[in-house]
Amino acid sequence: MALLLVTAVVLLYGVIYPNLSVAISSFQRAGTWTFANYTEILSQRIVLEAIVSSLGLSVATVLCCALVGIPLAFLFERYTFPGRRLFAAFAALPLVLPPLVGTVAFIYLVGESGILAHGIQNLLGLQNPPWRLRGWSALILFHTYTMYPFFYVLTGAGLRRIDASLAEAARSLGASKTTVVRRVVLPQLTPSLLAAALLTFMTSMASFSAPLLFGGDVRVLTLEIFTARQRGDFVIAITETVILAVISLGALFFFQRYEGTRRFAAAAMKGAPRRRASIASGPARVLATTLAVVFAIVLVLPVATLFLVSFAREGSWTTQTIPSAYTFANYQRLFADPWAAEVFFNSVTMSAIAAVAALLWSFAVVTLLRRGRNEQKFFGEGWRRLLSLLVLVPWALPGTVVAVSVAEAYGGPSLLLGSFVLVGTFWILPVVYFLRFMPLVVRALQASMEQVDPTLEEAAGSLGARAWQRFMRVTLPLVWPGAVAGTLLAFVIALGEYVASVLVFVPANRPISIAIASELRDFNLGAAAAYGVVLIVIISISMIVAGRLEKLRG
Amino acid sequence: MPFLSLNDISRTFGTTRAVAGVSLDVNQGEFFGLLGPSGCGKTTTLRMIAGLEKPDSGSILFQDKDITNLPPERRGFGMVFQNYALFPHLNVFENVAFGLRARHKSKEEMNERVNSALELVQLPNYGKRAIDQLSGGQQQRVAIARAIAIEPALLLFDEPLSNLDVSLREETRRELRELVTRLGLTAVYVTHDQEEAFALCDRISVMVGGKLMQTGRPRELYEQPSEISVASFLGRNNLIKAMRLSSSKTTDGEFKTLEGEHTLHLHVKHENLAPLNKPVYLAIRPEHVELSTNNNTAENSLRGNIREIVFGGATSTVRVDANGLLIEALVLQTNGLQVDQPCNVILSPDHLTLLK
């Protein structure tokens, strides 16, 4: 009962009320109900353009990511050759890079005054940089770099799940290799591909850092909402937020529906695991190996650039291909400057608060979800679905939407908090981080719980253990590695959070990402890079620990 | 007074009635079996006895106390699960000690009881082993040790041998029965394997489709099945559809088979006299069917042709077509029998049973 109360209160305060208040505000003007906000902003060319840009960019991103990710998954999942592991080790790197850090690294590498552009310019003795990192092509390139892993990882997982004996059966029935791919493999992959497409679409809709820093004329919705709030145009910001939220939730709805159908692949009976084939033809092997090495370098290059620039002395990188002088000063400043120390302290504290709260809360939610499965009378199937949906909503919503809705709901005296105003306090960011990343922890815990055989708890019960003893002595020892791994993941993502932070941070809780952005604005390229590198180091350590924990579980 | 009694219990999952109005009594010291095909509701019935499921209706009495709503941890029944459900994060000792820790037993008592339980299942000195270092048979013994360590008032088994290979299964079966008898425990044992149930249990309830069809001693069930479902589930059986011809008052029944239109005679008990002109089933075990190649005037001798002879090792199955009525016979020797050979099938009145 206490669990139910805690869960309900958090969902009411964190998910239902903020989103409802944004939706309500978008239909109100001067205290009356009206569609005026929508008719007004939809008649503005710039808003329509933003919607079209966001959708167009996302569709283009999905297509490009599919074109890159699917063939790579087939190549690396199905065949073995020298270099395969090298690529596989770095394949998911862009996923763990905080978007802002990735954007900065990208600018240093392929921006018009980045290493590549300067290199070519100096090599060929050109007057101007050979290209400018601006607009559509720049955004699509960056999105493909950061989001192709959705397709790569999900297609790979889908391929692994397909029972090899099905393909063998098809071959024995006379189907050619291409027929097998077309009629056996692809239909079974469809759910994975759809999931990847929707994830990519949702992530692309939420993208903010890249459009902000090198979007040029492409003004997407997230950016429009940000600038509308900056100029104090709250009504437009809120109305656009609702539009963005509706598109994202639509995608979530499809994602949920297709995720359910993903099970059929796993339902196959006991079958033969597929072995990776080695590539027989020599030239093909060389090609595959070259491809693996080149892609591995491409994946690592932005991060390597960031490392390099983090050691650059300020002012030593103007027209040179790479900075001409190196120093530890950027890092020294990071550790000596009280301002920088405070920024780190803020981010670590706020992320830790959010992650730990998410962990504790996840236990309540997951326990409820599991209990609902057994006792229909207590907690029906419909409620169970509603609960899992509400938990997922903040995950599907772009960070911009979460921040705007919390700001709208608790920006003044509110129905739920009375005269307490959350906006403008230190606590606004921990709350936003919690909302944004708790679905990750819930999912991680859920996955761990699903691996625990339910008869273990029943056995403990039949041996005389009460509910609390069952939890402490059976469930918790089995799920904590997975739960902590999920919490660590939420922690590191919160550490680099920028999209929502930039909308609601106050001087008292300025996080790392805001510091990076302001260093960049002041052209302190080395200092911005150093922040990024420290973030990446913390993230890497956490990911290694999380990986160890995952193994511990198996 | 029965030790455990289920009174008209039912359980529905969604739209499927897993258990429909089951009533049965288990006596103290009895090894009681719940036997049936998969999905017949036997496991659900066991789980309701354990308290892991609540019946939608009906009641469960244990030593005359109503335990229907008692949670499993307060029943004090030991249960051995099909997949053993051993705690993977605890070693053998801690697994067996789990129930004793939940009861806050002293250290000395716990050591003593865990060690004696491990000795009973012939795994002394295995306490420090991790669960994944054990073979399937050893895991199964640990599961039994864990269940008996709490000195259960009732021991419940959910197909505990189904994950073992055949040779190990028979050995473990014998040891299990011996152990339960030695400790004087009462057991309820769920299985879909009739041979296992016959070998282990004092009495058995056969369940089909959520309903309890018949309860009795193994031999009774095998030789005098009262329902078609029991007759066809327990071993092989020839089921012959027939109509009663003679007056329904007498116990000397005369029947006409619907296929082949043969006339058959059998002794009918007073309590189940069949109605006239309504199809009923007669059953006879293949091992009770006699075949003869000479002309013979025995009672219930039908003329037929051998359709098929299937060699099965110690015994062989012979299928005979008697004018459209197919009869299976189990014979030790197939000497002189050939496919397409005419022969007589003798369905002795002593072995023919009338089914409800």
A261: pLDDT strictly greater than 70: no
pLDDT > 90 in chain A, percent? 32
For every residue of A168-234, which 3-state class applies, written as one string? HHHHHCCCCHHHHHHHHHHHHHHHHHHHHHHHHHHHHHHCCHHHHHHCCCCCCHHHHHHHHHHCCCH
Q: Do B51 and A460 touch (CB under 8 A)?
A: no
Residue B2 exposed, middle or buried by CB count within 10 Å (0-12, 13-18, 19+): middle
How far from A88 is each of A93, A230, A250, A270, B239, CA to CA, in Å?
Answer: 10, 42, 33, 27, 63
Choose the most confident range, by mean pLDDT, from A171-175, B81-85, B270-274.
B81-85
Q: Do B73 and A462 touch (CB under 8 A)?
A: yes
Which is higher by pLDDT, A165 or B79?
B79
Phi then psi dihedrals of residue A200, to 5 deg: -60, -45
Candidates 3.30.1330.10, 3.40.50.20, 3.10.20.30, 1.10.3720.10; CATH matching A44-322:
1.10.3720.10
Question: How many residue pairs bridge chain A and chain B with CB atoms within 8 Å of each other?
Answer: 66
CB count in 10 Å sphere of residue B258 = 14
Residue of B nearest to A453 (CA): B85
pLDDT > 90 in chain B, percent? 55
Measured CA to CA, the distance from residue A154 to residue A152 in angstroms comes to 6
Q: Do B72 and A462 touch (CB under 8 A)?
A: yes
Give the residue extent of every domain in chain B. Answer: 4-229, 236-355
H-type alpha helices, A379-524: 381-396, 399-410, 428-451, 454-462, 467-470, 476-495, 501-504, 512-521
- For chain B, the first-to-last Cα distance in angstroms comes to 30
Amino acid B112: pLDDT? 94
Using CB atoms, which residue from A453, A455, A464 is nearest to B99?
A464
Q: Which residue has the tokens 């409820």?
A: A368
Q: How crowded is the C-beta side of A337, counted as CA atoms within 13 Å?
A: 13
Candidates 3.90.1280.10, 2.40.50.100, 3.40.50.20, 2.130.10.10; CATH matching B236-355:
2.40.50.100
Q: Which two tokens stand for residue B110?
A: 């716990």
pLDDT-derived band at A265 (thresholds 50, 70, 90) equals very low
Phi then psi dihedrals of residue B200, to 5 deg: -95, -40
**What rounded mean pLDDT belongs to chain B?**
89
> Angle between the A381-396 and A234-261 helix axes, to the nearest 10 degrees?
130
pLDDT tens digits along B120-144: 999 999 999 999 899 989 999 999 9
pLDDT > 70 in chain A, percent? 94
Measured CA to CA, the distance from residue B316 to residue A364 in angstroms comes to 62
Please tell me if residue A381 touches chain B, with a CB cutoff of 8 Å.
no
- What does CATH list as the number for B4-229? 3.40.50.300
Residue A283 exposed, middle or buried by CB count within 10 Å (0-12, 13-18, 19+): exposed
| Longest CA–CA separation in chain A, Å | 82
How far from A152 is each of A58, A66, A167, A546, CA to CA, in Å?
Answer: 17, 8, 21, 21
Q: Which residue has the tokens 């199905």?
A: A78
CB count in 10 Å sphere of residue A137 = 14
Using CB atoms, which residue from B78, B83, B88 is nearest to A462?
B78
Which pTM does this prediction carry? 0.79
Please tell me if residue B75 touches chain A, with a CB cutoff of 8 Å.
yes
Please tell me if residue B83 touches chain A, with a CB cutoff of 8 Å.
yes
Contact B19, B48 (CB under 8 A): yes
* Residues in B touching A456 (Cβ below 8 Å): 85, 87
Question: What ipTM did this prediction achieve?
Answer: 0.78
Amino acid A300: pLDDT? 92
- The amino acid at A217: D
Measured CA to CA, the distance from residue B353 to residue B284 in angstroms comes to 7
B292: pLDDT strictly greater than 90: no
Q: Which two tokens stand for residue B50?
A: 């354990």
pLDDT tens digits along A140-171: 999 999 999 999 988 988 888 777 777 777 77
Please tell me if residue B132 touches chain A, with a CB cutoff of 8 Å.
no
SS3 state at B236: coil
- The amino acid at B255: F
pLDDT tens digits along A176-210: 778 878 887 888 888 888 888 988 999 999 999 99
Please tell me if residue B76 touches chain A, with a CB cutoff of 8 Å.
yes
Chain B: give the shortest CA distance to residue A410, in Å: 43
Residue of A nearest to B148 (CA): A463
Q: B99-108 b/e with 16+ CB inside 10 Å = b?
A: bbebeebeee
**Average pLDDT for A68-87:** 87
Residue A18 exposed, middle or buried by CB count within 10 Å (0-12, 13-18, 19+): buried
Using CB atoms, which residue from A459, A465, A469 is nearest to B79?
A459
Amino acid B274: pLDDT? 67
**Could you give the strand order of the β-sheet that contains B325-331, starting from the edge strand earlier in sequence?**
B289-292, B342-347, B301-312, B315-322, B325-331
A530: pLDDT strictly greater than 90: yes
**What rounded mean pLDDT belongs to chain A?**
85
pLDDT tens digits along A380-438: 677 778 888 888 888 888 999 999 888 888 887 777 777 777 888 889 999 999 999 99
Instruction: Write the DSSP assignment of B265-298 as a string of letters.
Output: EEE--GGGPPPBTS-EEEEE-GGGEEEESS----
Please tell me if residue A458 touches chain B, with a CB cutoff of 8 Å.
yes
Q: Which of A374, A462, A474, A480 to mutate to test the interface with B (most CBs of B within 10 A)?
A: A462
pLDDT > 70 in chain B, percent? 96
Amino acid B249: pLDDT? 61
SS3 state at A426: coil
Contact A279, A79 (CB under 8 A): yes
Q: Which of residues 253-282 of B touch A (CB under 8 A)?
A: none
Using CB atoms, which residue from A456, A461, A466 is nearest to B87?
A456
- What does CATH list as the number for A1-25+328-554? 1.10.3720.10
Specify whether the backbone of B64 is left (phi greater than 0), alpha (psi in -120 to 50) or beta: left
How far from A414 is each of A405, A406, A421, CA to CA, in Å?
Answer: 13, 11, 8
Q: Which residue has the tokens 């007057």?
A: A127
Chain A: give the shortest CA distance to residue B75, in Å: 8
Which residues make up the CATH 1.10.3720.10 domain(s) of chain A?
1-25+328-554, 44-322
Please tell me if residue A456 touches chain B, with a CB cutoff of 8 Å.
yes
> Using CA of residue A422, residue A425, residue A426, residue A432, what is the dihedral sign?
positive
